[in-house]
Amino acid sequence: MASHRKSRSTGTRVAGIRTPALATAALTSVALLSQTANAAPSDDRPSLEEVEKKVDDLYRQAGSATEKYNAAKEKTSKQRKKVDTLLDDVAKRTQKLNDARTELGSFASAQYRTGASVPETATLLLADSPQDYFDQNQLMNRLTGRQKTAVDDYVTQQSETMKKRREATEGLDTLTDSQNDLKTAKSTVQKKLATARELLSELTAEEKARLAAIEKKKQEEAARKAAELAKQQAAEEEAERKRQEEAAQQQGSGSSSGSSESSTPGSSTGTQAQKALAFAQAQIGKPYVWGATGPGSYDCSGLTQAAWKAAGVTLPRTTYDQVNAGTTVSVSQAQPGDLVFFYDDISHVGLYVGDGKMVHAPKPGAYVREESIFYDGESSIYSVVRPA
C-alpha cells in the first residue's frame, strides 16, 4: 500500500510549520518588502533641521507675499476710488451732452415747423462727428448766435465725454490688473502658510519638543547679542556725554545741559518716537494676521504704520516703502521708535525699543511681542531707519 502513496515535497519549516516551496518564496518577498517599507521613511524623511529651515523659509516667503498683497490692496483701493470718480464724471458729462442734444433738437423741430431751410441741424444729431459735419457743410454760417452757442456746447460736451469715457475704460483695465495681482498675492500667502502648517503637523511630539529646544537656544543667543548691543550703545552714549562736557568746560560754561539733548532725538522727534513706541507696546499680545492693520490684529508693517500714525506721522503701508520713509542709521545708533528692517527682500519690520530689543508682529500663529532684534541672527538685519 505504501508504494502507491505520492511523495510529499519537503518544503521549508517556518516557525515550526512545514510550507510549500511557492509559499516560501512568497514569504521571502513579503519579508523583503516589509523591510523596504520600514526603511524607506527613515531614509527619505527630512531631518528636523531641514524641516525647521523649510518652515522658516516658508514663513519668510509668506511675509514677502504679504507685503506684495498689502501693496496690491492699497493700489486697488486707490484705483477703485479713481475709477468711481471717473464714472461719476462720465455720468455728469453724459447728462450735459444729453441736455445739449435736446437743445439742438428743439432748434431742429422749430425749423421744421416753420419750414426753415436748415434741415442739417436735424441731421447733425445723427452724425458721428458734429464738428466734421459743420466744417464740411458750412452750417455754422447759417445759424443764429444762440444756435451757434448751443452747437459749440454740444461739440465740447461730446469731446469731453468721450475723453472721460476713454479714461474710465483705461482705469477699469488698471483696476482689473490690480485685482488680479491682489488675488495672486493672496493665493501665494495661503499656499505658503498651508505648506508650513502641513510640515509642522507631521512632526512627532518628540520632534516638536526638540524643535522648541532649538528655538529656545536661538532666543538665548539673540538675547545675548541684544545685551552686547545695549552695552555698546551705553558706552557710546557715555563717551559722547563726556566729550560734550569737556567741550562745554573749554568754552567756560561748565554746563552739561546740552549733552542729554544731543544724545537723543530732537524734542519734537523724540516725543513722537515715545508716542509711537508706547502705542506699539500697548499692542503686545494681539495676534499676527497677515494684511491686518489693527486694532484687533496686525501684520508687521501694519503695526509700525499704526504706531507712528498714533504719533502723528504717516508712514506708507508696506515695508518696501517704509524703508525709504526716513533717515538710515547704523544698528549701533538705533534709538527708541526707529524702524528695524529685516532680510534682503525687506519683508519684515519692527519698532526699536532700546537695549537691542524691538516690538514686532512676528509671523502667523504668533502674537505681537518684544524680543531681540537678533531673533533671526545678526545677518538678517537689513537696515535701521528713523522716520522723518
| pLDDT mean over 47-63 | 92
Neighbours of 176 (CB within 10 A): 12
pLDDT score for 112: 57
pLDDT score for 105: 72
Quickly state the pLDDT bin for 98 (edges 50, 70, 90).
confident
pLDDT score for 157: 79
pLDDT score for 370: 97
pLDDT tens profile 218-230: 999 999 999 999 9
Pick the residue with more confidence: 249 or 307?
Answer: 307
pLDDT score for 90: 87
Would the pLDDT of 150 be above 80?
no
DSSP per residue, 147-209: HHHHHHHHHHHHHHHHHHHHHHHHHHHHHHHHHHHHHHHHHHHHHHHHHHHHHHHTS-HHHHH
pLDDT tens profile 344-355: 999 999 999 999
Place of cell 528692517: 341
pLDDT score for 270: 81
Would the pLDDT of 291 be above 70?
yes
Would the pLDDT of 86 be above 80?
yes
Would the pLDDT of 47 be above 50?
yes
Contact 134, 151 (CB under 8 A): yes
> Which amino acid is present at 292?
A
Contact 276, 308 (CB under 8 A): yes
| pLDDT mean over 369-377 | 96
pLDDT score for 249: 87
Would the pLDDT of 143 be above 60?
no
For the chain, what percent of residues have pLDDT higher than 90?
Answer: 58
Residues taking part in catalysis = 300, 348, 360
What is the rounded CA–CA span in Å between residue 233 and residue 238?
A: 9
| pLDDT mean over 323-351 | 96
| Chain mean pLDDT for the chain | 81
Distances (CA, A) of 285 to 76, 132, 222, 310: 31, 70, 20, 18
Quickly state the pLDDT bin for 92 (edges 50, 70, 90).
confident
Would the pLDDT of 79 be above 90?
yes
| pLDDT mean over 260-280 | 72
pLDDT tens profile 18-39: 444 444 444 444 444 444 444 4
Closest CA to 195 of 69, 56, 70, 72: 56
